[in-house]
Structure 1
Amino acid sequence: MIGVVVTLLAIGLLAYFVLKNYYPPIILLIIGLVLLLVGGMLGNAPVAAKASTGFFGFDIAQAFTNLVKGRLPGLGLNIMAIAGFAVYMDRIGASKSLVKLCVKPLQAIRSPYVLLAITYVVGQFIALFVNSAVGLGLLLMASIYPLLVALGVSRTSAAAVIATTCCLDLGPSSSNAMRAADLCGIDVVTYFIQGQGPVALCTIASVAIGHFFVQRWFDKREGAKANNVNEKADELDVDKALAGAGPAYYAILPMLPLFLLIIFSPLVYKGIKLSLVTAIIVSLIVALVVDILTRREFKLCCKDSQAIFEGMGKVFTSTVSLIVCAELFALGLNKVGGITTMIQAAASMQNAGLFVMLFVMLCIMIIATIVTGSGNAAFFAFSPLLPEAAASVGIPTLALAVPVQLSAGIARTMSPIAGVIIAVSGITGLTPIALIRRTIPVMIIAMIVSVTSSLIFI
């Protein structure tokens, strides 16, 4: 019982400090170290992930050292490589070329609410290659938003759809997906295709349909009318927003890693084994050669390639540090025993054990995400509990990991302090609360469909 109280207190403190805008990694680190200390006092030693150093005080620091050493060569390197690739694609205009290519078909659609639904689907597709929710939101606000408004979509409806375009953390480039695949003991491509694939297709369809009806209902209820905006002027704004785009064939460059990983995976061709980092390096080489041949400015192209290492460094200070500190926090929760007690209580419910366990893990993930505004922080903090939770009710980790992992991205779109919500609402002049009033109903539909389809297909 003491472990449960300490666990709830730790989660409460984490929520408080994050809401007060304290730096999340250091808060997770401090609370995690305190939890390890409490776990040791409760007799749950050694607190280090491996062998003890011989001194309890050093064991606490050794636990963090072990996590850093375990994460940097694997998951940490993968995430940094993806971030470097993404920043380089943005620097040479390849990301904008992809968006420009996807925007063109939308200009032929004249029904505002059909356009909204298709915009979400297109945005979610782009999110496979532009894996920053805030970055994608800003890019779409600069490119697709003026088009939506020009075609009669209300400002709030357009903003709501754009804010949700990255609500599902899909694909090999998602750090949450990589972590989930690691926990399931499978490669990230297999996790993406066999785990996320069927669930994501159902959820994407439900979100698109949900936006069609929910935004139309809100617009009618609030008396929203078509915006009297000069369409030609807004199309010029779209062109201006995409002014830095590269040639049309650059649109294929952001897709190269995903194509390579799928083709040279156990699901397609087993003769060649290709790791995520190797696929990204190959794609970077191809992109650099294409850029040099296109622009014919060798010195400038080499200078732009600096963006690769800038992106790697930036994501280390944000995501990778967050991952390691969140895992220390999770280790601390495990050592005090509170989460284990709750998992065992859920597992003891014979027939309802699976559903209770799924409900408990979803509640933890949704509340943590909404409170912190970060799907990464919530998932990396509590995902280490998934294997134990799944084993306690006799199901594969994959069956629990997919709905819980997807719920983190969905819940992020319901948080008024999420970066993408703040960014989109700020540009449109809306309050974050006004924006999430439009996103929450659709995300609830997405959550229900995601969980239901997971139970059916996995």
Structure 2
Amino acid sequence: MSNLIAVVLTIAYIVFVATLVIKRYNSVFVFMTSGIAVLLGFALITGQSVMGDATTGSAVIDVFAFTADAFSSNASGVGMTLMMVTGYAMYMSHIGASTKLAYLATKPLSKIKNPYIVLSMLFIIGTLLKLVITSHAGLGMLLMAIAFPILTSLGISKLSAVTVLIMCGFVDWGPNDSSAIFAAEEVCGMPMMDYFLTYQGRVAAILIVLCAIFLPTYLSIMDKRDKRLGLDGEIETKAPENVDCPAFYAVLPVIPLVLVTAFSFVPNIKLDVPTANLIGMVFVFVLELIRRKNRKDVTNDFTVILKAMANSFANVVSILIGAAVFAEAIQMLGGITVISNGLATIKSAPIITMVLMSLITFFAGMLLGSGNASWYAFGPLVPNVTAQMGVPAATVALPMQLSAAIGRCMSPVAGVVIALSGMAGLEITDIVRRCAVPAVVMFACNMIVSYIVVML
């Protein structure tokens, strides 16, 4: 097909799929069925196989064989990592260790009287907690119970307090994060810790510092404006919540992170993320068997892990599978290849591509309310695009991956926005408007910092 037709069909397909997902059709179903339909049409029209030399002998059957391979490869590879991480995180929440960690980390800040210094410090703590509490909504709801009362008791408006708690999840980073694991292992083809230490950790740390400076400045201006206009509302306070478990349980959620980080510096031992989480599970189970009298209840807690892993497959890994078929369909239509070939001839092609691809995941994260859905859908396109330009995949993959999470912070359909608006008794539209400026500023900072750290 001609280059123009390829580009038009590719854009039309992406718009069609995005429209269905925005209308709240099941994203996995839309990704997979639309992808299969496009691949079948391609096979029938051209006679070419989606599987290349690994063909079953029938281009039509190859479409379904490719989809089956997407199930097996994603479920056993990155999918298993995500399920193990989710299982451990849910177990930490179940026994109160995550809440204890957040409580002990934020409690000392209640003694500081300057509200916006506290806000900035709570933001930094929240982003660090994101390393071990990888669910944006889960982290937000946890901080609502612990940090929200501290902020409002110091005179910060409910709207600004909710904004900073949402922005605590503006970077999906660390060895336990599903989108970071996907970026490292599937898109960039490198070990997770190499990706984190070489690229992601450095960029994310700079962005966190910049946001910690920008947020108190911006939110203090907005609070003063609201107070002047009489829009600040009543301040409701209550004591931060604690949980009934030993204080040392606060270290349990970080065990896998510590293990993976420590062994990354040991040359003769390779410890991956699933193994580190399994070691953590066994250690905590032994600890619980010693501490709790009802050992039967301790053994029943294993069901919590299994259910969390099952939910992870249904809600996250399934998106990976559907997105793999969707991405292959986009590749087969050829529009992305035409565009990347055209960009490759431009002197500043990597920079332009980085910005354009990051804008796609940023707006997709905002529209879909999910950083994972947008990143999993468009991330697989990166290796081919960067190969055309002769640059490492990380130069485009890193800012794309981070942009998806930034866009989620200003999404009216994001789980964290919906949950926190209900808990705080605020309108979703007000929260989105308050989060929009920090999100856009951080997107711009992401482009600049990623360019400096990764490309220069």
- Could you tell me the TM-score, scaled by structure 2's length? 0.94
1:296 partner SS: coil
The residue type paired with residue 379 of structure 1 is W
Q: Which amino acid is 1:213 matched to?
A: T
How much does 1:448 deviate?
1.8
Between the aligned partners of 1:230 and 1:307, the Cα distance in structure 2 is: 34
Moved more, 31-40 or 132-141: 31-40
Residue in structure 1 matching 2:199, options 195, 216, 226: 195
Q: Partners in 1 of 2:374 and 2:236 — Cα distance?
A: 43
Q: CA deviation at 1:380?
A: 0.6
Partner of 1:368: 364
- Give the direction of change, closer, same or farther, for the CA distance of 1:437–1:227 in structure 2 (3 Å limit): closer
1:291-330 Cα offsets, whole Å, 9 max, x none, are 2222232111111222111110110111000111011100
Structure 2: how far apart are the matches of 1:49 and 1:456?
A: 39
Separation in 2, partners of 1:30, 1:69: 17
Aligned partner of residue 107 in structure 1, secondary structure: helix
CA distance in 2, matches of 1:42, 1:361: 30
- Write the letter of the residue equivalent to 1:317: A
1:437 CA displacement = 1.2
Q: Say which of 351, 354, 369 aligns to 1:355.
A: 351
- Report deviation, 1:143: 1.7
SS at 1:221's partner residue?
helix
Separation in structure 2 between the aligned mates of residue 191 and residue 135 of structure 1, nearest angstrom:
25
1:73-101 Cα shifts (integer Å, max 9, x gaps)? 21011000001101111111111111111
Write the letter of the residue equivalent to 1:199: V
Q: Which residue is 2:339 aligned to?
A: 342
- Counterpart check, 1:401 vs 2:397: yes
Stretches of structure 1 that go unaligned for 5 or more consecutive residues are: none
SS of the residue aligned with 2:413? coil
Across the aligned residues of Structure 1 and Structure 2, the Cα RMSD in angstroms comes to 1.7
Asked if 1:177 corresponds to 2:174, the answer is no
State which of 79, 103, 106 in structure 1 corresponds to 2:109: 106
In structure 2, relative to structure 1, the CA distance for the partners of 1:19 and 1:304 (3 Å cut) is same
Q: Given the alignment of the two structures, is residue 386 of structure 1 paired with residue 382 of structure 2, yes or no?
A: yes
Other-structure match for 2:218: 214
In 2, Cα distance between equivalents of 1:40 and 1:217: 58
Could you tell me which runs of 5 or more consecutive residues in structure 2 were left unpaired when the two chains were aligned. Answer: none
CA contact (8 A) 2:289 2:295 kept: yes
Q: Show structure 1 runs of 4+ deviating over 4 A.
A: 224-231
CA distance in structure 2 between the partners assigned to 1:31 and 1:329 by the alignment: 7
> Which gives a bigger RCO, structure 1 or 2 (Cα 8 Å, sep 6+)?
1
Structure 1 position 324 matched with structure 2 position 321: yes
Deviation at 1:412, TM superposition (A): 0.9
The share of aligned pairs that are identical, in percent, is 33
2:146 to 143, 148, 166: 143
Amino acid at match of 1:18: V
Q: Distance in 2 between matches of 1:8 and 1:98?
A: 46
Confirm whether residue 34 of structure 1 aligns to residue 37 of structure 2. yes
Say which SS state the counterpart of residue 112 (structure 2) adopts.
coil
Out of 152-161 and 425-434, give the one that drifted further.
425-434
Query: Is the contact made by 1:207 and 1:443 (CA closer than 8 Å) also made in structure 2?
Result: no
Distance in 1 between the 2:320 and 2:122 partners?
32
Match of 1:19? 22
Distance in 2 separating the partners of 1:17 and 1:44: 29
